[in-house]
Amino acid sequence: MGVWSAANGHHCRRESFIGRSTEHLEHALITQELTQELGSEVAGGVAAGTVCCRYRLATVGTNKRERQRTNKAIKDQQVAKAETRQKTRRTALIVVGSIVAVFAIVLIANTFIGGDDETVTTDTVANAYAGDDTVAGDSSDTSADPTAEPQPVETDGEVFAATGEFVPDGCPSPDGSAEQQQSFDARPPMCLDSTLSYSALVTTNKGEITIELDQEKAPITVNNFVFLARNQYFSDTTCHRIIPGFVVQCGDPTATGGGDPGYKFADELPAAGEYQIGSIAMANSGPDTNGSQFFIITGDQGAALPPQYTLFGQVATGFDETVVQMEAAGTASGSPSEPVEIQSVVISTI
């Protein structure tokens, strides 16, 4: 009985174990199925979420880069426009500056070396400062034609032995024996010897200057200068207008800017750009109003003058020693701070 019971009990326990194992197995299978289904859904969800997230991240990154590129392009365009505006302004300033410089030079020329009113005696440089014309010019002898060329004296005359120069009648002697004369009834005849070259030694209270006269370019003007010099016209006269960096103006016996020898003669104008520092040119009060006043260019402003003044010579020696001292007496108004005088002008030939 006991043996049976043990066996029976074991059997029962076996059945009980088998029953429980079956239940566990079924439960495990169900759990596995649920887990597989849930895992698929979760995995799918995770995968989908991952793709979705990746898609969203990719989309967000692309849009941001596009905005960055767009903003950079806009900024580049703005910078380019700003640079273009700056270049345009710089170009405009350069053009305006150039125009202003040109007008300034013309204004200086009109103010200091030429006048618009031909009824006012000479001198263009002084007009703005002293109420007269300034750099030169002569106003009398209005009935004569200033453009008519001087007529050479016929063959009558004599040869100056010291130089071999032929001196026509009516022309002053080269020996300097003529008495001083500062007023004439008519323009001079042609007194130059075309085979010779002429120069002038100008003695001032500041030193000496040698001027090479250009008979080839301005024969009428050189003839006039030689004629006046040999008649002692310039002796003991004052250079009445001196503007530093511009001109030293002389040749007016009255020292007023309105003096002249009693006649006018025609222009012999240079080409643009021919003036230079040390050039000698005639002052005037308008076209064909040359007389006796002349100026020495001492600076860049003078060299930049328009070609409206007859160029007839160049300082050969004495610029640094004498002309610079003459210029040192100048002022912005043109009135010298101290007397600058021409003591004599002696003409030589070679």
Kindly report, residue by residue over 97-109, the tens digit of the pLDDT.
666 565 555 555 5
Q: Is 0.85 topped by the overall pTM?
A: no
On the question of pLDDT at 147 being above 80, the answer is no
Higher pLDDT among residues 10 and 78, named by residue: 78
**How distant, in Å, are the alpha carbons of 56, 63, 78, 79, 242 from that of 69?**
20, 10, 14, 15, 67
Query: Can you give the pLDDT at residue 306?
Result: 98
Domain ranges of the chain: 1-86, 113-349
- Listed range (13-22, 152-161, 192-201, 239-248) with the worst mean pLDDT: 13-22
- Listed range (64-68, 76-80, 127-131) with the worst mean pLDDT: 127-131
Matching residue, tokens 């070259």: 197
On the question of pLDDT at 152 being above 60, the answer is no
Q: What is the DSSP string of 231-284?
A: TTTTTTEE--EEETTTEEEE--TTSSS----S--B------TT---TTEEEE--
- For residue 283, give the nearest of 262, 264, 304 by alpha carbon: 264
Provide the CATH topology of domain 113-349.
Answer: Cyclophilin (2.40.100)
Query: Can you give the pLDDT at residue 62?
Result: 65
